[in-house]
Amino acid sequence: MKRLVDNELIYGRLLPIDGPHLVARYNKALTAFGLKQTRLESFRIDMTGFSPEIAEELGDNDYLDPNGVNRRFVILTPEQENLPVVHTQFSNTAGLMHQFFDGNRRAVHAVTIKDALFGEIEDPVAVVTGVEDLLKIEEVSFRVMSAENMLGKATELRELVDRLKTSKTGWRDDAMLNRMVELARETGDIRQNALVPDKLVFPHTSYWANHFGGVFIFRDDRTTTVICDSHAPGFKRSRPREVSYIENTDHARIFDYLSKTGRLQLPRASWVEPSGFFAHRAEMAVGDLIRRTDPTVDLAGTDRVWLQTWMHHNAALISEQGIYPFLQEAMREVASTGQVKMAEIRADRRLMLCRAVPDHSDQWLTNRLLAQMAPFDFVSRFVFDKQGFYQAYDGYSESYRAHVVDVLGKTYLNDKAALRARLYGLEGYQDDV
């Protein structure tokens, strides 16, 4: 873990909080959540206000995510909008936070000058016990409070202003007028500064939930599709007439579903050749085979000549495992015909050749699912499925961990946007988690 932290592959790009007034406001939020206040004088936070240092101090990584649902948040500054979300149980937490910032920008900027916003992303479920609970989450509501009660004071001032406007004798009420002056000193002119967030309800569309080994819920216009382990509570039993279920090992049905709903970009020369996607996956497959064959091999100290020699000496093993020659053949087919005949490909390998349609609204979610279908590709896992990446990383040998960190440092971290654009066709900046 230390290697990941040192190379900013976990808890990277977090915002340092060291001002006493900000720490005090954060502590008031912790108290409101029923948690112990931090004794730290400085710590780092992500977009939601999660701090790895405070999580360690409390001994609870889920201190803002109790029961894995109804995520808590603490907003100390508008700068948090540009941070990643580094710990969450739902893939769309970052998206919902972005919507909150977008819908309440003036309020967030105004309140955080003197106060902090905190609360919960509420949904109808208190505890997730089965798939049905996840299906119930169709929209969420932000329940927002403030550490210094700025929201309460602004609301009170608004009510007093309204009373003054409608009452014929209000201007004679010295107590009310004095209270308005007192409140205005703290909140400012609420006619100019929108202190109370007014966009608080947002749709909960397609997403991944970190429950029962991971559950994908795709929502289309008239149908909902669940992809997960068949042993998940409620699988094929919750709303069987409304929901389609696909077991996460049924590659053929997953391919058909993603293709028919326009989420899957099939292999065509127009994107495969300039992206180098197949060559990248082939290289990942060989590295993973070396890891499993001899975990002590120091790949960081090897070159292409060494790799070619290893492949020559282990040709039978590579042939038996099959992924590398399969990808090589796919590259030749694309070069000669411009496409791959997917009907002739084994069901468990079709998804290795595809990526999400770049302009589809579910592009990140689809790529997360595809990354899980190709676990040997640790680059794709890191980009789209960080929880899966970290779990796999724990099982790697120390030498392979060094190789993984080296590759990610030279490729992804060196220019995230460029790698995402080249391999996956994704434009612009975004961190899933």
385 pLDDT band, cuts 50/70/90, is very high
| Residues 100-125, mean pLDDT to the nearest whole number | 90
Residues 6+ apart with CB under 8 A from 374: 281, 284, 351, 352, 380
Q: What is the pLDDT, as a whole number, of residue 6?
A: 87
For residue 45, report the phi and psi dihedrals to the nearest 5 degrees.
-135, 160
Q: What is the pLDDT, as a whole number, of residue 106?
A: 86
Q: How far apart are CA 33 and CA 54, in angstroms?
A: 14
Is it the case that residue 433 has pLDDT exceeding 50? no
- Tell whether 34 is covered by a domain: yes
Q: What is the pLDDT, as a whole number, of residue 310?
A: 93
Which of 116, 149, 182 is the C-terminal boundary of a domain?
149
Range of the domain at 88: 2-128+141-149
- Tell whether 105 is covered by a domain: yes
Same domain (yes/no): 145, 272:
no
| Residues 292-302, mean pLDDT to the nearest whole number | 85
Which of 98, 120, 149 is the C-terminal boundary of a domain?
149
Residue with more model confidence, 229 or 413: 229
pLDDT in tens, 217-248: 999 998 999 999 999 999 999 999 999 999 99
Query: Strand pairing of 207-209 and 215-219?
Result: antiparallel
Same domain (yes/no): 277, 145:
no
Q: What is the pLDDT, as a whole number, of residue 430?
A: 55
Q: What is the pLDDT, as a whole number, of residue 197?
A: 72
Q: What is the pLDDT, as a whole number, of residue 330?
A: 97
Q: Compute the chain's Rg from CA coordinates.
A: 26
**CA distances for 96 relative to 183, 195, 265, 300, 366, angstroms:** 32, 20, 26, 39, 18
Same domain (yes/no): 145, 284:
no
- Tell whether 93 is covered by a domain: yes
Is it the case that residue 249 has pLDDT exceeding 70? yes
Structure token pair of residue 164:
């003054």
Burial class (CB in 10 A: 0-12, 13-18, 19+), 16: exposed
- Tell whether 54 is covered by a domain: yes
| Residues 128-137, mean pLDDT to the nearest whole number | 96
Q: What is the pLDDT, as a whole number, of residue 178?
A: 76
Structure token pair of residue 119:
């609360």
* Residues facing 386 on adjacent strands: none
- Tell whether 188 is covered by a domain: no
Structure token pair of residue 302:
């090897």
pLDDT in tens, 144-202: 888 766 666 666 666 666 666 666 676 777 777 777 677 677 766 544 455 667 777 89
The percent of residues above 90 in pLDDT, for the chain, comes to: 72
| Residues 376-391, mean pLDDT to the nearest whole number | 96
| Angle (deg, nearest 10), helices 174-187 and 150-166 | 140
- Tell whether 27 is covered by a domain: yes
Query: Strand pairing of 224-228 and 215-219?
Result: antiparallel
pLDDT in tens, 80-102: 999 999 989 999 999 999 999 99
Q: What is the pLDDT, as a whole number, of residue 255?
A: 98
- Answer for the pair 417, 429: CB distance below 8 angstroms, yes or no: yes
- Answer for the pair 377, 371: CB distance below 8 angstroms, yes or no: yes
CA 178 to chain centre: 48
295 pLDDT band, cuts 50/70/90, is confident
Neighbours of 27 (CB within 10 A): 19
Residues 6+ apart with CB under 8 A from 387: 210, 214, 433
- Tell whether 225 is covered by a domain: no
| Residues 248-253, mean pLDDT to the nearest whole number | 97
Burial class (CB in 10 A: 0-12, 13-18, 19+), 304: exposed
Secondary structure (H, E, C), the chain? CHHHHHCCCCCCCCEEECCHHHHHHHHHHHHHCCCCCCCCCCEEECCCCCCHHHHHHHCCCCCCCHHHCCCEEEECCHHHHHCCCCCCCECCHHHHHHHHHHHCHHHHHHHCCCCCEEEEEECCCCCCCCHHHHHCCCEEEEEEEECCCHHHHHHHHHHHHHHHHHCCCHHHCHHHHHHHHHHHHHHCCCCCCCCCCCCCEEECCCEEECCCCCEEEEECCCCEEEEECCCCCCCCCCCCCCEEEEECCCHHHHHHHHHHCCCEECCEHHHHHHHCHHHHHHHHHHHHHHHHHCCCCCHHHCCHHHHHHHHHHCHHHHHHHCHHHHHHHHHHHHHHHCECCHHHCCHHHHHHHCEECCCCCCHHHHHHHHHHHCCCCHHHHHHHCHHHHHHHHHCCCHHHHHHHHHHHHHCCCCCHHHHHHHHHCCCCCCCCC
Q: What is the pLDDT, as a whole number, of residue 194?
A: 58
Q: What is the pLDDT, as a whole number, of residue 159?
A: 64
* Domains of the chain: total: 2
Q: Which residues of 238-248 are buried (b: 16+ CB within 10 A; e: fewer)?
A: beeeebebbbb
For residue 246, report the phi and psi dihedrals to the nearest 5 degrees.
-130, 125
- Tell whether 309 is covered by a domain: yes
294 pLDDT band, cuts 50/70/90, is confident
Q: What is the pLDDT, as a whole number, of residue 432?
A: 45
Instruction: Please provide the average confidence, as pLDDT, over all residues in the chain.
Output: 90
What pTM did the predictor assign? 0.88
Torsion sign, CA atoms 213, 218, 219, 222: negative
pLDDT in tens, 356-374: 999 999 999 999 999 999 9
* Residues facing 226 on adjacent strands: 217, 245
Which of 117, 149, 181 is the C-terminal boundary of a domain?
149
